[in-house]
Homo-oligomer: A and B are copies of this chain.
Amino acid sequence: MPGVRAQQKEKTRRALIQAAFKQLSANHDFSNLSLREVAREAGIAPTSFYRHFKDLDELGLTLVDEAGLLLRQLMRSARQRIALEGSVINTSIETFMDFLTTHESEFRILLQARSGTSDDFRAAVSREIMHFIAELSDYISQSQKCSHDFAFIQAEAMVKLVFNAGAEVIDMAEEQRRLVADRLAIQLRLITNGAAVTIKQLSAS
């Protein structure tokens, strides 16, 4: 019966990934992660780790990819909600904030990788953020009928403010979060409103 072996392997691979995610928190970031601790948490011998990843870094990149994938799926669902409910900014923020609470570890690794030590990590999460910007940029350029470049600049500012707010909010209680979210909503609106005015200035100059 072929496949039993591969099945089991995948299972402990998941265990390693889960173990790594579990150890990520506000007080224990990826760079403080140890191969031995992760292996222990996953219930395997330290040396068995190498049967699945050549490095801790390789595991880390897997985490980043998974977190990014999850967040992108979320974005897609958000856009569907937008089509139904209308309000772009509010639903986007709401969905994003949901993600923070339901997938805390996943967001944490994106944050940590963004400002972390490894070039590969930073590149990976930068790529991920670029995806968001590109998608939002498309949306803006066709809904505002403005140039792609100008849409990009707006989208970049908005995505970065959102991520920033996420970083700020992740260690806060629910009540505090609302305040940040409300301010964020206004800030995003400042940008879209400002775009309508500024585009005239730019084309006039």
C-alpha spacing A192/B198, complex, angstroms:
10
Contact of A198 among B111, B114, B119, B190 (CB under 8 A): B190
Interface: A194 (CB within 8 A): yes
Interface: A76 (CB within 8 A): no
C-alpha spacing A116/B171, complex, angstroms:
12
Question: Measured between C-beta atoms, what is the minimum distance from A187 to chain B in Å?
Answer: 4
Question: Measured between C-beta atoms, what is the minimum distance from A35 to chain B in Å?
Answer: 15
Binds B, one of A9-17, A64-72, A90-98, A160-168: A160-168
Contact of A194 among B26, B111, B183, B192 (CB under 8 A): B192
Binds B, one of A38-46, A47-55, A79-87, A150-158: A150-158
**Chain B residues within 8 Å of A31, by CB:** 29, 31-32
C-alpha spacing A26/B120, complex, angstroms:
12
Query: Would you call the interface of chain A mostly helix, strand, loop, or mixed?
Result: helix
Contact of A167 among B115, B156, B187 (CB under 8 A): B115
Q: When each residue 15-39 of chain A gets 1 if its CB lies under 8 Å from chain B and 0 otherwise, what string results?
A: 0000000000011110110000000
The 10 closest A-B pairs by CB, nearest first: A194-B194, A190-B194, A193-B194, A157-B187, A193-B197, A115-B115, A193-B198, A160-B164, A29-B117, A190-B191
Q: What are 24 A-to-B residue pairs whose CB atoms are below 8 Å?
A: A26-B119, A29-B31, A29-B116, A31-B31, A153-B183, A153-B186, A156-B187, A157-B161, A157-B190, A160-B160, A164-B164, A186-B202, A187-B191, A189-B198, A190-B190, A190-B191, A190-B194, A190-B195, A191-B191, A192-B194, A193-B193, A193-B197, A194-B194, A194-B195
